[in-house]
Every structure is written in C-alpha cells, then in structure tokens.
Structure 1
Amino acid sequence: MQLEGFSHISLRANSPIKFEETLHFYNAFAFKKCLDQLRSNGKEQTNGDDEENHIRNVWLKLDTARGNLTNKLIIKLSLSASAVDCDQKPNEDVDWGLEEQVIVLITKDIDKVRSQLQELGASVQDVPESDSEKLYALDPLGNVLLFTNKLAFPGLLNEQSHEGVPASIEGAAQPAEQPRKIAVLTSGGDAPGMNPCVRAVVRYGISKGCEMYAVYEGYQGLVDGGSQIRRMDWKSVRGWIRVGGTSIGTARCKPFQTSEGRLQGAENLIKRGIDSIIVCGGDGSLTGADVFRSEWPGLVDTLKDANRISAEQAEKHKHLTIVGLVGSIDNDMSSTDITIGAVTSLHRICEAVDSINTTALSHSRAFVVEVMGRHCGWLALMAGIATGADFVFIPERPPSEDDWESRLCNVTQRHRDLGKRKTVVIVAEGALDSSLKPIKADHIKSILCDRLGVDTRVTTLGHVQRGGSPCAADRVLATIQGVEAVRAVLTAKIDTPSPLIISRNNRVATCPLMQAVELTHEVAKAIQEKNFARAMELRDPQFAEEFDAFTASTILDDCNANIVLPDHRRLRIAIVHIGAPSGGMNAATRTAVRYALNRGHHPIAVYNGFSGLVRGTMQDATWIGVDGWTSHGGSELGTNRHVPGIDVDMGMVAYQMQKNKIQGLMVVGGFEAFSSLVELEKGRKYYPSLCVPICHLPATISNNVPGTDYSLGTDTSLNAIVSSCDAIGQSARSSRRRVFVVEVQGGKSGYLAVEAGLASGANTIYIPEEGITLSRLQSDVKHLLAMYMDDDADMSEGRIILRTEDVSETYTTDVISNILKDEGHQLFDSRTAVLGHIQQGDTPSPLDRIRATRLAMRCVQFIEDHSSNALDKAHGEKQPVPVELTDCDESVAVVGISGANVKNNSIKELLPITDLKKRKPRAAWWFEHRPLVDLLSGRGMFTPQAQKLLAEEHNSDNSSNENSSNNNQ
C-alpha cells in the first residue's frame, strides 16, 4: 500500500505474547514508542482478567526524510482480546507481492535489513531484479512488509519523489539542489515581539524548504561561532509567540566593530554554509549588518588567502544577503509607521500611569513620569494621549515659549481651578527646550513644588517598559514582518541594496535599509540644528497630527485662543453612542467634547442611544465632566441597538434635534451606527432638521464597519482574546494532550479569529468567510493527530482552535470539540471555552485610545467643514442661522482610518461595497493574513500530503478499519 496521505497504520494483537513480539520487531527497525495507553473496554472488571477488561495501545513512530524535511511514519499497535486471530500467515510458496496490503519501506542497504530479519527469526522472501532488490518479510502478526532499494515503482511512489523514505534505515535523501541556509539574529536593546518575529522567520523559512539557524547573543554569537550558531527546527520556537524579550539573546559586541571580528563572523557563517542573515534590531544593529554585507567580498578573499576556507567555499559564498527588521520600543526608525515592540512598551507605560492616576487623585498630587526616548518622543506623546496627561515633553517639539516653566504652571493651575485633583506630566528622557537644554523630571518637579506648592513625585519607569509578554499588535506585526523578511531573502538580488521590512499605510513593505537609517540619523541632526519642523516631518505620518490632537483636547489655557472659531461658526454638536459597547468609545467622547469646547462649540451628551435622544435624555457636556474617560471601558453615555426609522420613530428624532437646536451629530458605534446613518440620510427629504452634518466614528470589536481599516475596540478585544488564549494555552500545556476550541465574537466577520489566531499561535481557525465542512474537520483531525504523534511522549503540547460565533449553525463549538475528542483516538482530548463579553475588554488599549483621539477630532472638523458655508452665508447676509445647514451626500459619512490616514467616506459611496445582510464590507484587508495561521501552526509540515488533505475527505472510517487484524488505515 502507499503510505502517503494516511494518518497512521493500525495493527492489532490478541495476546500479550504476540503484542510484545510485534513491539520488539518494529523497535528493531528504529520505530520508537511515543505513547503507551491502557484503557478500559467498558466491561465490569474482575480480579485476574485485567487483559480482557483493558485495551492497550502503543503508538510507534519512525522518522522519514523528504528532501530536507522530516516526516513521521506512525503505527498504532493495539492489544485487545477481541482482535481476530492472526496466526494464519501467507503461504511461503506464493509470491507475497500479490498480497493486497503491503507496508513498503525503502532502504539503501538491503543486506543489512536481511541480516537483521534473520536475527529476529522473521520469515523472508527475496525478489531480485536487474536494477534493484525487493525483500519481503512477515511481522509477528503476519503482516507483509516490503523492503526495497528502489525509490519508485508502478503504483506506489512518484518517480521523482523521495516521500516515505525512512531516514533511520536509509539516511536523509538529498535533494537535487542544496537548501538555502538562513540565519536570524536579534541585536541591540531587546523589544517585545522579537520572539514572535524569530518564530515566524524560522517556521516560514522551513516551510519554504530552507535550513534555518539562530545566532545566539547577537553579533557576539556571530563572532564566537560554535554552539552560538544553532540549527533550528519547527519545535525550536514552540511557545515563543507569547514570550517577551528575545530568547536567542542580544549583547553588545565590540569585537564585531573591528575588521578582525567581522572576519571571524564571516568564517563562522561560511563554514556552516550560511549566506543570508535576517537581523532584528535598532538602527545601530542594522547599520552594522549593512557594513558586514559591503565588506563581505573582501572578507571572503582574505579568508581564502589565509587558507581558513577552501576555494570552493569562497566561490560558493561570494555574496551575503542581509534583510533588516526594526525591533525598537522607541518607534524611532524613519520610513516605517511602527516598529516591533513599540506598542507593547506603550502598554507598560499606560498600565503604570493608569495606576499612578489613582494615587495622584487620592492625594491631589502631581506626578512626573519619565519614559524612554532619547531622540524620539513617540512613547511620551502616545502615552500622554492614551492616559490623558496634562503635559508632555518630547525632543522633536520643544515648548515654543522660552519661559515654558510659567506656561506649565499656568496650565496646571487652570486645570486645578476647574476641579482637577491630579496632575500628570510625561517627559521623554531626551526632552529638550527650544535652546536644546535638557528638560529633566526632577526640574519639572521642582517647578511644580516651588511655584505652585503642589505635592509632586517623580517616577522613572526604566526597563519596565521593555518587559512583559508582547501585546496582540506586536505579535501580529512581528509575525507578518518575519514572513516578509524570509520572502525578501529568497527574492533578493546581488546588486540591490539590503532591504528593510517596514510597515506603511497598514501594509508590510520594503525600503532600502541604509536609506531608512540615514533618515533616522537626520532626525537627531535636525533637532541639533533646531529644525524641529523637519524632525516632526521625519516621524510617521500621523505624529504631528496626534501632537496637535493632544494639545487641542488636553490643554485648556489662553494659548488655545488661536483655535477658537468666530461666534457665528460655533455649533451645537450632539454625541450619541449606539450598538454594543467597545473600548475607546469614552476616549472618543472625551476628545470630541474637549476639542469642541476649545473651538468654541457647545457639545451635548445624549444618553442611551437614539432611544434617549427621542426621550430628550441629554445634557451639556463639560471639560471636567469627561476628565479621566480615556481609561474607562464600555460606554459612559450608555448604548443600545435601536436604529432610527426602524426601532425608534424618525419623526421624534427629527423633532428632538430641532427642539434642542442640534446642528451636528456625531454617532459612535458599530454596524448599527452605520445603519442609522443610512436611515437618517433617507429621512432628510422628509425632515429638514436632519439636514445637518452627520458623521459616524466606527466603534465595534467585530471591525465590520465599511470605510475604515480599524474600528475602536478591536485592539482592546484582540488583547483580551490573546490574554485569555495564553491562559487557556497554559492549561492545555499543563494537561499535555488537550485541544481547546475557543469561541470568539465577530458575527459574520472573521477579523477577530484571524488576527487573534495569528497572535496566539492557534492551530487553526473557523471563520464565516470560509465556513466549515465535514472534510475540513476531517483534515484538521489528521493534522492534530500528526502533530501529537510528532510530540515527545512526555512533552506534548496543548493546542488552541478559534471559532467565530456565527460560522455555522450545525458545527457548533461543542460539536467541533466532540468530533475532535472522538476522532482523536485517545491521543488527545478536547474542551471548549466561550469567551463571551470578556472580549469587550475592561480598560481600553493604548491603540484604541489614540485612534479615538485622532478620529474624534476629525469628526468635529468634519462637522465644521460641512456647516461653514451655510453659517458664513447667513452671517454675511445677517440672516438667522438656518435649520438646514447642508443636504449634500458627502455630509453623511463614516470617518475612518485608511492606511495611515483618516478619510471621510460618504454613505452613498460605501453602500455598493457593503453586504447589508451579513453586516460587513464585501472586501477585507486582513483576509490576506488568513493562510499564515495554518502555515505557522505546522499545516503541511508533518505529512507530505497535508495540503492535499485540506480539500479531501477520508475514504474510510478509522474505527471500522480496525475490525480486521491486518488492515491499514
């Protein structure tokens, strides 16, 4: 029989003697025991008949080679008194090759196998041929085995294939072309996300047929060589996705800065056949890598001349490929929107500042928090936005006033006069004033204590910012960039500059490595030249905008007078929440209220959605009334799913808007909010009071709103799911052989399952975009069986599968779990976990808070832009302000994130690309991540035909095949 495509072979013995003989027989041919089970057969146990009341299963595996990949040949040997008598053997006078069922093993040394069979006392039948030999033998159960030195023959294996070759008998079959050898190293300061990056590089490289190596201790390991350069296999990076820092280490290396050190590093690489390096680090580490590449030809010549490498090695390794990945918590690399580790570091800062807020509030204190960032203020600025700090100091944008101390005191005092009990100032370690004089935390403390008499404390977070498990965003970023780095290696050309893997406009891209490094150095140069506008320009696209958003929404003082609108342009703007609560709703409301007030508008808070609007449940929003809302989860205004025109009367909505003189409406919510805008736009032709600017700020964990890449709450939800999966995975690992089927929300959108699956290292996912079929479940069972067979018997892993709640009415979470449990042949069991409303999260994540601030400010600006013409016209003609401020299509829109930008998309533009029935856009940018979930979990790495099995059904049922003694499953 042909072995490829089968999960295992099942053999049954009806007596302990036969069982032990068979076990000894296969052990002699390097089959190793990977699991030994004893279970009850369901009968009542009596003394003295243990063997009759129990079934013993031993699982054996044999490593098999396919090219440079290793697969497993699995045998399940069962001891059961109910097994059919196996004493009848094939007649020795008949050609055993005519048997219907034959186990085929390919070997290079037939004589060695023959000698081993003789020692075992096995029956043997030789079949010599002109160009090969075939040797038939019987195992103790009477099964026929064929040993052959021919790699292919009709009906068994493809002539060009080496699939199914037992490595322990033959030795690894060498492919025609040597595999590419790629090394990965981490250097510079550690960053959360480096481990997920290394994991993705190693596993994706292996999936592309490469030999993967890790250089331990950064460039120091490259110089030291030896055990510091290690071959990595699939299991080497198991579990790394949830581990912070870098497991392969990083160290400062002065020897590598010398030519002799680089020469030694080159020798160590060449002797291992490595000609490609993927480096994850900061600008210094990446510069060192590019220098290494530029010197490579000269280093190779020097090594050859000194006879340290052979001429053949020199010829084979004439060129070195370098690919860079940016691992930096500071987010200080130009040309990329975000770097690996930055978001997790921001999480640590926000967690600390949120904790500080409570003690500051209790004692009415001021806290000055110093965060990292010598030349980059990204962490300080984003932490200031996310925590609602009163002031931030960053190197790229020093205070414009020479006497910044007085302004700090004025702002602090004004905030406290309004009733604020706490003051939080965040300062980057490299913060400067306009004269390039450092601004230090202790100096700020002295100013607040001496001038205002405020009890002030200083907190320096230090290396706490580097610690902890990577957040969901960093895991996803590191994973997709790691995959792209391997692709860049495989497509690199000799004459092109070393590429740097970057994130731009929400997509992974590449740019010349040294160009990005030079632009990064230019930031420091621009700061030293006091060209602060250029320094801001060199940061990511939204950096300057977010700084303005922070200033406009956080600081209330006389310096904001220049942003106040003239009286005739000031509006009454209502803010309403609708749909399910999600992280960031309150942060968006806070920013909208404060920015509106700073612009001179009159913000109105509407409680309990459109139902509350109909009842007139609203009140004026105040600056101090929304203080502290950035860190509040859920919806402080209250929310429900009532859509105007469907669930509530549209006429009453229009009446209340006219009665309360609402001149602009900001709707914060998910797909119900989108549906509300559709209905409100339809109602305009009947109700003039609806002819005002109406905008939708997307906020839903499902991320199913058209017109935006991200909705508020998605990042918070992903972190909640990933945190839960980490805990569930820990339980699964402790139980060893257990699979958890975890149900996540998302409706008809698979966004949460795909991104959380990528971030948690899930085994597979089930999403509405693909659905579930019986064949898919069968292939997943095969995959799980293969992986558990591949595990060491005492070191098996727990595994996770994610299922979107609405993927199937038939294949529920419990049904899938039960199928896995029954089909697992006791190799593993299965449990379920339904996360439910835990996924809405508690405290909003920093990313959701930052997005909320940016989008809310844009929403207010949208309302201003679409009302200005009517207001200016009425003011110029000295007429009363009209009820109808606008009726153009563009004035009813979704204000969403598109790449790195914020874009206004009108409802009429979005309707053609929206599936209203399934409540989601017709296309999704995140779906391209879907294949990586299966690939990085090992799909296709354990059986040669695993990819084919994804689309195939089992040809027969495993349990029915076990009813005969000599069958093969």
Structure 2
Amino acid sequence: MATPKTPVEPPRRRRIGVLTSGGDAPGMNGAVRAVVRMAIHSGCEAYAIHEGYEGLVNGGNMIRQVHWEDVRGWLSRGGTLIGSARCAAFRERSGRLRAARNMVLRGIDALVVCGGDGSLTGADVFRAEWPGLLRELVATGELTEAQTRPYQVLNIVGLVGSIDNDMSSTDATIGCYSSLTRICDAVDDVFDTASSHQRGFVIEVMGRHCGWLALMAAISTGADWLFIPEMPPRDGWEDDMCSIITKNRKERGKRRTIVIVAEGAQDRNLKKISSYAVKDILSTRLGLDTRVTVLGHTQRGGPACAYDRWLSTLQGVEAVKAILDTTPTAPSPVITIRENKIERTSLMDAVRLTKEVSARIEAKDFETAMNMRDAEFKEYHRAYLNTATPEHPKMALPEGKRMRVAIVHVGAPAGGMNPATRAAVAYCLTRGHTPLAIHNGFPGLCRHHADKPVGSVREVEWLESDNWVNEGGSEIGTNRGLPSEDMETTAWCFEHYRFDALFVVGGFEAFTAVSQLRRARDKYPAFRIPLIVLPATISNNVPGTEYSLGSDTCLNTLITFCDAIRQSASSSRRRVFVVETQGGQSGYIATIAGLAVGATAVYIPEEGIDIQTLSRDIEFLRHNFAHDKGANRAGKLILRNECASSTYTTQVIADMFMEEAKGRFESRAAVPGHFQQGGKPSPMDRVRALRMGIKCMQHIESYAGMSPDEIAADPRSAAVIGVKGSQVLFSPMGGPDGLEAKETDWERRRPKTEFWLELQQLVNTLSGRPTQGTGAEEHPGEGWGCYEST
C-alpha cells in the first residue's frame, strides 16, 4: 500500500506594506498606487498603513490589505489618501516594539516608506533593531518563536516625498516640481499687476533649510533678487539689492520688481531675513509700492504635475523591485533620480549628507553647504546670478574673444524656446558677446537679406528678452524651412552679418538644419563656426538627448485635458475616451502621458495598431465594466498617437469600441490638437532652458579665437546638447560615430534607440491590460476583475 503523500503547502506570498510620513507632497498617491499594483503584479500582497508610523504602532484597522481596484484614480489626487501624521511613540523603542508586533501579526516583512529624511531615518533604525525587537517580543511572551520565524529579516526601501527637494543624492524628490508649479503660477499671476502699477512684490516660499524652491522660482520668474539659506547675501546686501533694482527699473525700464524669499532665509550671521523686512527696505529706501505675498500651504495642495506623476510611478515600481532584490545584509536603499535615470542609493548615506548640509549652514560654512547639495544646485545658482543682471565687469571677456552669436528657432513652437533664448542673451551680454536674433527661421533670414532689409537679424536687448521668461511659443518666430532650400543665400547672410556662432533651438528640423550646414562646410566657409542644437520639441524625438524642451509643458497640458476628460467619463455611466496625442512618429508623449494619467492602453507608431490588439482591448474593457465591483462610473482613457496608424484613426477606434461594446460601455473620441503646444512653459522647461542655454553658450565660447579650419576639424563644433542617462553632454553630429550616422532614423524622424520604449510595457502592467491572448492566463487565480485601469 502506497504511503499517502503529505500535502505541500504553497509558498507564502510576500506581504509588502506602504506608508506615507511627514509633510504631504503631491505625487505620494501615485507612489502608493505604483507600489500596490507592482506588488500584486509580482505575486505579492500589498498593505496600506494609514496615518504613517502612527498606524504602524496602533495597528488594527489602520493596517489594511489593498487590492488592485482600491487605488484606481489615485494619480490625479493631491495629498496622501492613506494619511500622514507625526508619531512621537515611534521615536521610542517601546513604540517600535508595538509596530514590530503588529507587522508580524499581519505577516508583513517589507516596508516602502515615502517621506522626508526624518521618516526615512526612522525606518532604517527600525530595520536595524528588528532582530532584537523580535527576540524581545518572544521573551516577553507577546509572540511565539514560531510566529516570528518566517519574519527574521525586515526589508526597507525609501521614497523621498518632499516639496522642499532637500534630500542629497537625488536631483528631484516626489512633489517638488508640483510645488514649484504652484509658486510659478502665483508669481505669473502677479506679473500683470506688478507691471500695471510699477509695483514690487516680495514672495515668500517654503524652504526652512533648503532653498531649492526659492532658487528655481527665481529662475522661472526672472526675479530681481533672491534669498536662500545655503548662500546668504554678503554684508551690505541691502545696498546691493536696492542698487540692482534701481538700475533694472530706471536705467533698463523694467516695470515690475519680484523678490523671492525662502522662509529659512538668513544673513551670514544666521539672523533671519523676513519677507516683511525686505518689503520695508524697498518701501523706505526706494519709495517703491511693495506688497508681500506669503504662499504658505497652497504650495502643497492640488494634483501632482506630470513630472511628479511619472517620477512617483517609476520610483514606486523600482521600490518593489528593490524589495524583491535586496539581500538580508544589504544596506537599505532609497530610490533616487539623476538627470533622467532612476537609481538606488544607500538610504543612510543620503540622509547623512542631507543632515551634513544643515550642519554646515549652522557652522556658517556656506560654500561647503552649496557644494554638498546636488550637482545641479550650485550650477543653477551661478546661472541665476549671471543672468539676473547683465552687468558683471569681471566676467566680461577681452575684445578679441567676444563673438557675434546668432540665435534661430527651427520647427514647431515648444515651451522653453523663449526662456532658452533669454538665458543665451543674458549670458552673452554678461560676457560681452553680441546676441543676434534671426527672425522666422532660415526662410526669414534668406527672405530679408541685404537686398531686402526688413530687420530679420537684429541685436536683442536685455529688457526685451527678460520679458520672455514665462512666455510660451517663440517670440522671434519659428519656421520649419531648412537651409537647403537656399544654401547660397544662407551662406551669404552668414558672411554679411558676420556670425561667429549659431545657436539653434528646435526639434528634428533644427537637427536636420545643422546637419545640412555641417555637411556644406567644404563648399561654404561661412559655416565653419560652432553650430549647436538645443532640442526643443514636444515630440522629444531629437537624436542625442532623452529630454527636449517643451515636452514637459506638453505633458502638463495633456494631463490637464485628460483629467477633465476623465471627470466627464466618470460622470457618465461606463464611458471610455480615446484621446489623440501629438508627437509625430515618436510615441514618447503618448507613453509618458499614459503613465501619468493611468491610461488603460497606449497606441504608438513604434508598435502600430492591428485588429487583434483592438479586439483584445475591447474584450478587456467589456470584462472590466462587467466585473468592476460597483465602481462602474469610473471613466477610462486610451491614448493614441496621431501617427500610430493611418487606418485605425482615433474616431474609427472610438466607433469600433462603441459598436463592439454590446451595451457594456460607451466610447467617445477626443482630440486636443494644438492645445498641447500652447500655454506658458512649465517650471521644469524654464529652469532646464536656463541651464542648457548657458551650457550651450559656454560650449560656443570655447571656440573663441580659433580659426575656421580648426573649428571645422573639431567634431564637437557641430553638436547636440542633451540628457543621456545621468549625464548632460554634447554629442557630435558628424563623423563615423556621430549622431547622424549612428543614432538617427532619418525616415521616421526619430532616434534609432528610444530610451522610453520599455515604459510602454509598464503602462500595460499598471493597467492590467493583457498584451497577448485573453489575459486570464497571465494572472492565474486573479482574473481580470483585479486588474482595472486608472
């Protein structure tokens, strides 16, 4: 007789807890949503710990299992829906002992903590004490050894949620760009009043120990003066500030005055500089009608911007991967971002560096404090000082090294073109160069040459360009025309106007234009000058960069449109909107917007559309609406790039969905069109325009004094500035290894390798959309009911 087999218990499913702690920040809900859905997708269970560490200590109903559909619609919600609270009990060992007991009873042995440095420090202390806490719980009889045996290791992963962007080792924290957007919106709104009455405004922004918000707001709004805690003004700053503001108003004709003050602003003796003290100085010394605006907690409110939505999503996904990868002895990681690359960094190293910055400030070692901020911070601060006013006698170059720099916009308008031009003009004036604007692109240059002088090339004054700081579109005009349409006249104009360098701002047409000029150098010596491209296009399809100016502005405009559409869809019973996005032959905008709005599906040119895909998505939607557990009023979005298919247009897809829905749901088409190109540039596009514009001018400047033949022989004299991974660099266009030969898909007008394509699968993962078959076999035992979109 055979011995009966002992039934094998299925392996325990990993349980991952997620909590938000400290001050709330826009994007926290997106992080929680990503952690929950990625955990479920990875075969784990997800638990939300409400009210931060307080929920961990008190347990009970404050620790709840979260299912797929529970986080639907969270991307567009501000604050934190699982709550945050200060918890004095968790600072004590007794409180952490209770928290450990609650976690073991719930079977949770991994935590994702989204908060500031204090919250993350507490999490790491908790992990270090974990073995001792378990032993103590067993020794006191609160838990048995059998209960604690499966949970001997606690994994902690940190996500930095902070509007101040005060964590070292990362370029951005979840919520910081949303907060900056609120600030810029507020300052933009007072521009008209300030100009109308020639009034001054002192704007106080958050930042008790970190001046990131204040610095980026000053750059984004063209503020006249700035106060941040890391770099207090030198003694006698009152006279300096009044001198600059007087010069800007009386000598240069500036009608508005904006001063940005971080709440932690102080002088070099650590004495607080209040916004009202600054206002009194301007009023009494200059007789300037000055008002104070303290933005306060409005900076925390509202939905997350596009950047914070996709950042929190990518970091939440990476946090779950880190938990599943982490070994018992590895240090706790915090998920960070460098330029365009998501990374894992030692949590305690990041916290230690952050606290060291505050210590350096307290010790009045301000230079070290500036150096210890992220690499961008000091660079941005120097760039702001160099462009806030054009007069820096010590920075002016000798006459022999001063250049005539031509600036031209090529291609469709994009947010950031004007701020980039403003930065270039200000830097040129500071160094003694002559900035020359070419109006209406290359056709404008050729159409208005010397035989028909209509002023297509003219010097740009500081005051004129200073007003472009928050203007969308292109104030000098842009055009898709290329030099090849009249190369002879283009070369004549270069010689006639004595261009020493050309700064081209634009999209794929700008890239093509510089390629044509570079290849014509042998025939036309006038083109043997530095030719630099700063990518600016909503399509983000320029070889040599992962980020183009204007793409962030477009994404923010698009998610605003999609949020409004979803509200309409949710107000109607069971409705799907198919939204058409721009982007040409690149699906970047559609994919990133899909991540940011929680789209059910995204159709892009790189993948195309076929009848099997549409049939599978129709069945997926039918199933969702039939098994949505009473939440059938939630609207759904599908994004379709304008060039995804010439047959399956946006309207055709919407009509097919309506026809095949069999009464389960309705379908509508929505086309925002050129709405995506308009509006004021986003703060990210403004600050990056300044940084990239100045880097381009510095690169151009490096060729001053070189002969035309020496310039032409250098591959980097015709180059594209761009973000690649965690670096900003200049990539040469020509040569066997240059962008033209190695990285450009000329037929489809996009790079051969598109870094974001892997994110397309993530859209499907987080929406639960099946990508082959019926989808049921992909999630055994779960079924479609647990994989709802948005």
Q: CA deviation at 1:887?
A: 5.0
Tell me the matched-pair count.
762
1:430 matched to 2:256? The reply is no
2:552 aligned residue: 715
1:194 aligned residue: 28
2:635 aligned residue: 798
1:925 aligned residue: 755
- Per the alignment, do residues 695 and 947 of structure 1 end up closer, same or farther by CA in structure 2, a change over 3 Å counting? farther
Quick one: which of 176, 182, 203 aligns to 1:348? 182
Give the letter for the 2:287 counterpart.
G
1:860-915 per-residue CA deviation (whole Å, 9 max, x = no partner) reads: 11221123334xxxxxxxxxxx8996553321111222345431112111012100
SS in structure 2 of the partner of residue 543 of structure 1: helix
SS in structure 1 of the partner of residue 639 of structure 2: strand
- Per the alignment, do residues 662 and 449 of structure 1 end up closer, same or farther by CA in structure 2, a change over 3 Å counting? same
Cα contact 1:414–1:556 (8 A) shared by 2: no
1:478-505 per-residue CA deviation (whole Å, 9 max, x = no partner) reads: 0010011111111221111111111124
1:823 matched to 2:660? The reply is yes
Partners of 2:695 and 2:351 in 1: how far apart? 32
Partners of 2:352 and 2:754 in 1: how far apart? 35
1:248 aligned residue: 82
- Per the alignment, do residues 569 and 222 of structure 1 end up closer, same or farther by CA in structure 2, a change over 3 Å counting? same
2:435 aligned residue: 603
Cα contact 1:753–1:802 (8 A) shared by 2: yes
Q: Which deviates more from structure 2 when the two are superposed, residues 754-763 or residues 509-518?
A: 509-518
Quick one: which of 740, 750, 762 aligns to 1:911? 740
SS in structure 1 of the partner of residue 75 of structure 2: helix
Partners of 2:710 and 2:340 in 1: how far apart? 38
Quick one: which of 161, 183, 194 aligns to 1:327? 161
1:412 aligned residue: 245
Cα contact 1:689–1:883 (8 A) shared by 2: no
Q: What is the 5 A alignment of 1:203-602?
A: 203-399=37-233, 401-417=234-250, 418-557=252-391, 560-602=392-434
- Cα root mean square deviation, aligned: 1.9
Partners of 1:811 and 1:672 in 2: how far apart? 27
- Per the alignment, do residues 552 and 424 of structure 1 end up closer, same or farther by CA in structure 2, a change over 3 Å counting? same
Partners of 2:776 and 2:381 in 1: how far apart? 51
Q: CA deviation at 1:938?
A: 1.7
Q: Which deviates more from structure 2 when the two are superposed, residues 320-329 or residues 175-184?
A: 175-184
Cα contact 1:385–1:850 (8 A) shared by 2: yes
1:619 aligned residue: 458
1:373-394 per-residue CA deviation (whole Å, 9 max, x = no partner) reads: 1111111111111111111111
Cα contact 2:423–2:690 (8 A) shared by 1: yes
Cα contact 1:214–1:229 (8 A) shared by 2: yes
1:672 matched to 2:509? The reply is yes
1:687 matched to 2:497? The reply is no
SS in structure 1 of the partner of residue 706 of structure 2: helix
1:807 matched to 2:671? The reply is no
- Per the alignment, do residues 306 and 943 of structure 1 end up closer, same or farther by CA in structure 2, a change over 3 Å counting? farther
Cα contact 2:76–2:304 (8 A) shared by 1: yes
SS in structure 2 of the partner of residue 449 of structure 1: helix
Partners of 2:669 and 2:407 in 1: how far apart? 40
Partners of 2:96 and 2:713 in 1: how far apart? 68
Cα contact 2:571–2:633 (8 A) shared by 1: no
Q: What is the 5 A alignment of 1:686-765?
A: 686-765=523-602
SS in structure 1 of the partner of residue 483 of structure 2: coil
Cα contact 2:319–2:335 (8 A) shared by 1: yes
1:244-271 per-residue CA deviation (whole Å, 9 max, x = no partner) reads: 1100000011111122211111111111
2:621 aligned residue: 784
Q: CA deviation at 1:291?
A: 1.1
Give the letter for the 1:320 counterpart.
L
Give the letter for the 2:236 counterpart.
D
Q: Which has the larger radius of gyration?
A: 1
Give the letter for the 2:718 counterpart.
V
Question: Normalising by structure 2, what TM-score?
Answer: 0.94
Partners of 2:39 and 2:597 in 1: how far apart? 20
Give the letter for the 1:415 counterpart.
N
SS in structure 1 of the partner of residue 207 of structure 2: coil
2:468 aligned residue: 629
1:170 aligned residue: none
Quick one: which of 721, 729, 733 aligns to 1:895? 721
Cα contact 2:75–2:596 (8 A) shared by 1: yes
Partners of 1:363 and 1:174 in 2: how far apart? 80
Partners of 1:731 and 1:715 in 2: how far apart? 24
Q: Which deviates more from structure 2 when the two are superposed, residues 390-399 or residues 430-439?
A: 430-439
- Per the alignment, do residues 947 and 771 of structure 1 end up closer, same or farther by CA in structure 2, a change over 3 Å counting? farther
Question: Normalising by structure 1, what TM-score?
Answer: 0.77
1:309-338 per-residue CA deviation (whole Å, 9 max, x = no partner) reads: 222112222221111110000110011111
SS in structure 1 of the partner of residue 605 of structure 2: coil
1:502-539 per-residue CA deviation (whole Å, 9 max, x = no partner) reads: 11241111111111111100101111222222212222
Q: CA deviation at 1:794?
A: 6.1
2:453 aligned residue: none
SS in structure 2 of the partner of residue 649 of structure 1: helix
- Per the alignment, do residues 405 and 901 of structure 1 end up closer, same or farther by CA in structure 2, a change over 3 Å counting? farther
- Per the alignment, do residues 453 and 946 of structure 1 end up closer, same or farther by CA in structure 2, a change over 3 Å counting? same
SS in structure 1 of the partner of residue 580 of structure 2: strand
Partners of 1:794 and 1:528 in 2: how far apart? 53
Cα contact 1:814–1:832 (8 A) shared by 2: yes
1:33 aligned residue: none
Q: What is the 5 A alignment of 1:944-963?
A: 945-946=775-776
Give the letter for the 1:561 counterpart.
P
| Structure 2 unaligned blocks of 5 or more | 450-455, 780-790
Partners of 2:206 and 2:570 in 1: how far apart? 36
1:934 aligned residue: 764
Cα contact 2:157–2:319 (8 A) shared by 1: yes
Give the letter for the 1:301 counterpart.
R
1:659-706 per-residue CA deviation (whole Å, 9 max, x = no partner) reads: 111111111110001110111112211122121111111110000001
Cα contact 1:940–1:947 (8 A) shared by 2: no
Partners of 1:774 and 1:320 in 2: how far apart? 47
1:102-158 per-residue CA deviation (whole Å, 9 max, x = no partner) reads: xxxxxxxxxxxxxxxxxxxxxxxxxxxxx9xxxxxxxxxxxxxxxxxxxxxxxxxxx
1:843-862 per-residue CA deviation (whole Å, 9 max, x = no partner) reads: 10000011111111122112
SS in structure 1 of the partner of residue 765 of structure 2: helix
Q: CA deviation at 1:727?
A: 0.6
Partners of 2:315 and 2:262 in 1: how far apart? 28
Give the letter for the 2:722 counterpart.
G
1:642 aligned residue: 481
SS in structure 2 of the partner of residue 433 of structure 1: coil
1:26 aligned residue: none
Give the letter for the 1:787 counterpart.
N
Partners of 1:598 and 1:802 in 2: how far apart? 45
Give the letter for the 2:724 counterpart.
S
Partners of 2:75 and 2:411 in 1: how far apart? 33
Q: Which deviates more from structure 2 when the two are superposed, residues 431-440 or residues 837-846?
A: 431-440
Work out the percentage of aligned pairs sharing the same amino acid.
52
Cα contact 2:22–2:119 (8 A) shared by 1: yes
